[in-house]
Homo-oligomer: A and B are copies of this chain.
Amino acid sequence: MQVEAEQPARRKGDETARRVRDAALKLFARHGYAAVSVRQIATDVGVQPGALYNHFPTKQDILRDLMLAHMADLLAAWNKDEVTRSPGEDPLDAFVRFHIRYHLERADEVFVAYMELRNLEPENFAEVEAARQQYEKILSDLLEDGVRAGRYAVADPKVATRAIIAMLTGIPTWYRPGRGLSRQDIETLYLTMVRKCVAPETSKPTGDG
């Protein structure tokens, strides 16, 4: 007898693996990888602990899976954004908008990907780190191009990249959609700040010190 309506066409095993990922993501985001037990994940999935090992060899592999998938999704989403967007748009504007939207949509993934780096075994860390650098390179290339073209002015594009990404990635740590500012407000505010930050025509220094 069917307890719940399930999609009969879908392979059940894939379904469980997906639910493991979902449960682990939420638990890791809330409590941290090291503080979450395999038993907690299993309980959330509604299964015995041993059953998880039909889908993931170890707890570490669940984390690895989540983080690599996140980085791959992020890069894929950027590539898709690049081809979809209107050709005249300023690349930095596009990046900022993309980054904010993606990071607000996938807050848990982003949070885990940042916080749990140190809990990755070395080889897994190296993979994730490579993807992270790939993503950073998008912005720094874009800044370097803009500097060459005279559209932006930054003394050190690599440092500016770090600064901008830190600024944007910090948003999900405090912003909760639905109360106060809208997503659009956030986009506008940060877009303005980032633009000014790299603007070629500096306003004069405050000059009273």
Q: Which residues of A contact B (CB under 8 A)?
A: 30-32, 34-35, 86, 88-90, 92-94, 115, 118-119, 151-152, 154-156, 159-160, 162-167, 169-171, 173-174, 181, 186, 188-190, 192-193, 195-206, 208-209
Contact = CB atoms under 8 A, between A and B. Distances in A.
A195 B209 CA distance: 13
A70 B197 CA distance: 30
B115 A193 contact: no
B201 A195 contact: no
Contact of A205 (B119, B195, B208): B195
Contacts of A35: 34, 119
A41 B105 CA distance: 39
Nearest to A90: B209
A181 to B, nearest CB: 7
Contacts of A165: 170
Closest 3 pairs between A and B when the two form their complex, measured CB to CB: A166-B170, A201-B203, A34-B34
Given A32-B118, A90-B209, A159-B186, 10 more contacts: A115-B115, A155-B192, A156-B189, A159-B189, A163-B193, A164-B167, A167-B167, A196-B196, A199-B202, A202-B203
B34 A32 contact: yes
A44 B191 CA distance: 47
